[in-house]
Amino acid sequence: MRRIAKSIVATAFVASALSAEGSIVAAKIGNDVKPAQLKSSDKLWSKAKESEVTLYPQTTIKMNDKKGNAANAENKAKVAKVAALYNDKCIAFRITWPDGTQSIQDGTASDKYPDGFAVQIATNFEDAKKLPYIGMGSEGRPVLVHLNKAVTKHYEPNGNKDVALQVNRDNTNAFGDDLKKFDGDVANAAKTHYMRSFISEGFRSMTEIKDDSSKFNMTMDYDTKGKAWSGTLGRPLSDANIDLSKAGAVPVAFAVWDGEKMGRDGLKLLSTWIAVDLDGKKGNEELVKELTEAPKGNAESGKANVEAMCTSCHTLSKEKVAAMPYMAPNLSNIGGYSTAAYLAESIADPSAVVVPGYNRNAHKNFAWYNVDDKGNRTSTMPPMMTDKAMIDDAVAYLKTLKAEVEK
Ligand code: HEC
């Protein structure tokens, strides 16, 4: 009897390990098409095969916001559908994800939050085992993020070089056609206000790209019957920040925010790095392999070791809460949005990528890293596992830690 129970547990682990994310195939389209102009309803999308991408609640770092944290405490994962198209000049994505309520930010009320989505692309992915940290990149491993939020066409001063528009229309000297033009300019400025791109090496370093080096377009449409958003991104295959002209595949990650749940910043659902395979192009086979292969360790023995060695600091699930939860990131969704290579690296060499501290300002005593004279950060996590097989087992187990999918 005991034996049977054990083998059932083992099978359950194998089943979930096998459900590693697949890759997305970007279909090749003619060069006359400008993907940047594609809307989500465009017929051209039927050329691409939609792939499922699971988005998990970000639980690593808690926001300094009790209400927001409470609203998101029970979050489950959502399955999004992603399609991709490319030609010699451009690449485009369409992501469709369920959201029961359409939240559009109207005006500047500070207690209302919009739905939104982002597409994150690693700027350097030569070494498939050292991709950027999934939470907005990490030191020396930058990411490019394209972000779009559902806002109405209102205008708020934002320092976007358009000072002339930052006046109440009643205070302009404009009449007739001039006033119409003023209103049009304001509407246009406002429309693009929440379509932004950033270069980031960890979210403390997010820098908005305000020059012309990031040319892209994003759209968002809500399907009130199907209760789902559809978002598109079109961007050049290569620009000053990213060169995909010779890539056969590229690591891309997706995130969505739910305004109804006060979603913003870290309060989001996000995917792991997904390999986007440019159909018909060679190269980056290692990357595709790395991101689609199931981890090879033994999850069952990994579970035993991790529960014994790591739960003084790390929460693993609702049932396995850390002895001192403020000591380290919450790992209860880590298997959903982290790659196996990242997990192995985090265990073997904790300072390789250092996760920003838990509310560092509010909890100075429990920063997750130390900073030396030169500004380098070292993790407070001791390297606890050195044996390769033991690390593989831990990784196979950590990959099973993720929220179930919302039905
Ligand atoms: C003394 C407390 C402590 C112990 C014990 C500990 N860790 Fe950590 N761990 C941390 C801290 C602090 C961080 C965040 C800083 C960093 O990135 O290293 C971290 C980060 C991590 C991360 C990256 C998390 C993320 O969100 O990206 C993983 C994975 C991890 N630890 C796994 C483990 C495993 C597996 C063990 C047991 C073998 C373990 N840790 C034991 C403190 C600890």
SS3 of 406, please?
coil
The residue that leads in pLDDT, 264 or 275, is 275
Q: How far apart are CA 331 and CA 315, in angstroms?
A: 6
> Which of helix, strand or coil describes residue 377?
strand
| Mutational test site, ligand 1, from 139, 314, 358, 379, max ligand atoms within 8 Å of CB | 314
Say if residue 383 is exposed, middle or buried (CB neighbours under 10 Å; 0-12, 13-18, 19+). exposed
**Residue nearest ligand 1's atom 39 by CA:** 310
pLDDT the model gives residue 283: 94
The answer to whether the CB of 134 is under 6 A from ligand 1 is: no
35-84: per-residue pLDDT in tens?
667 889 999 999 999 999 999 999 888 777 888 888 888 899 999 999 99
- Give the residue among 393, 220, 382, 392 at the shortest CA–CA distance from 304: 393
- The set of residues, in sequence order, having a beta carbon less than 8 Å from that of 199 and lying 6+ positions away, is 123, 142, 143, 144, 145, 206, 207, 209, 241
Sign (positive or negative) of CA dihedral 172, 175, 177, 179: positive
Answer yes or no: is pLDDT of 188 > 80. no
Residue 368 Cα, ligand 1 centroid: separation in angstroms? 9
| Residue 46: strand, helix, or coil | helix
**Is 354's C-beta closer than 6 angstroms to any atom of ligand 1?**
yes
Nearest to 230 by CA among 36, 115, 104, 97: 97
Q: Supply the pLDDT for residue 168.
A: 73
CA distances 115 to 66, 97, 147, 255, Å, are 20, 11, 11, 11
Q: Is the pLDDT of residue 397 over 70?
A: yes
Give me the pLDDT at residue 154, please: 56
Q: What angle do CA 141, 147, 151 make, to 5 degrees?
A: 160
Choose among 213, 180, 179, 182: nearest CA to 199: 213
With a 6 A CB cut-off, is 143 part of the ligand 1 pocket? no
Rounded percentage of the chain residues whose pLDDT exceeds 90: 58
Confidence of residue 360 (pLDDT cuts 50, 70, 90): low
User: Is 50 exceeded by the pLDDT of residue 174?
Assistant: yes
Instruction: Report the atom number in ligand 1 closest to the C-alpha of 379.
Output: 18
Contact (CB, 8 A) for 133 and 353: yes
Tokens 């020059």 appear where?
211
Tell me the CA–centroid distance for residue 145 and ligand 1, in Å. Answer: 26
Give yes or no for residue 174 CB within 6 A of ligand 1. Answer: no
Mean pLDDT estimate for the chain: 86
Q: Which atom of ligand 1 is nearest to the CA of 330?
A: 26
For ligand 1, the distance from its centroid to the CA atom of residue 363, given in whole angstroms, is: 18
Q: What's the CA gap between 353 and 165, in Å, rounded?
A: 43
Cα(327) to centroid(ligand 1), Å: 9
Q: Give 314 Cα–ligand 1 centroid separation in angstroms.
A: 7
Least confident segment among 19-28, 117-126, 240-249:
19-28
pLDDT-derived band of residue 226, with 50, 70 and 90 as boundaries? very high
> Is pLDDT of 14 > 60?
no
* Atom of ligand 1 minimally distant from the CA of 135: 27
Closest of 199, 230, 198, 236 to residue 217, by C-alpha:
236
The residues near 196 (Cβ < 8 Å, ≥ 6 apart) are 146, 147, 208, 209
All structural domains of the chain: 23-151+194-292 (2.60.40.1190), 299-398 (1.10.760)
Helix (H) or strand (E) holding 53: strand 51-57
394 Cα nearest atom in ligand 1: 35
Of 102-116, 262-276, 290-304, 375-389, the one with minimum mean pLDDT is 102-116
Query: Measuring from atom 23 of ligand 1, which residue has the nearest CA?
Result: 346
The one-letter code for the residue type at 304 is: A
pLDDT of residue 193: 53
Mutation test residue for ligand 1: of 139, 273, 381, the one with most atoms within 8 Å of CB: 381
C-beta of 182 in contact with ligand 1 (< 6 A):
no
Q: What is residue 158's DSSP assignment?
A: -
pLDDT in tens, 120-162: 999 999 999 999 999 999 889 999 999 999 887 655 555 455 5
Contact criterion met (CB below 8 Å) for 56 and 333: yes
Q: What is the structure's pLDDT at 6? A: 41
Q: Among the atoms of ligand 1, which is closest to the Cα of residue 133?
A: 27
Distances (CA, A) of 85 to 25, 45, 93, 109: 8, 8, 7, 37
Give yes or no for residue 16 having a pLDDT over 70: no
From CA 212, how far away is CA 275, in angstroms rounded? 27
CA distances from 327 to 60, 212, 367 (A): 12, 42, 8
Instruction: For residues 379-403, give the mean pLDDT.
Output: 96
Ligand 1 atom with the shortest distance to the CA of 355:
17
The answer to whether the beta carbons of residues 101 and 228 sit under 8 Å apart is no
Q: What is the pLDDT of residue 17?
A: 36
pLDDT at 110: 67
- State the residue for tokens 């005991």: 2
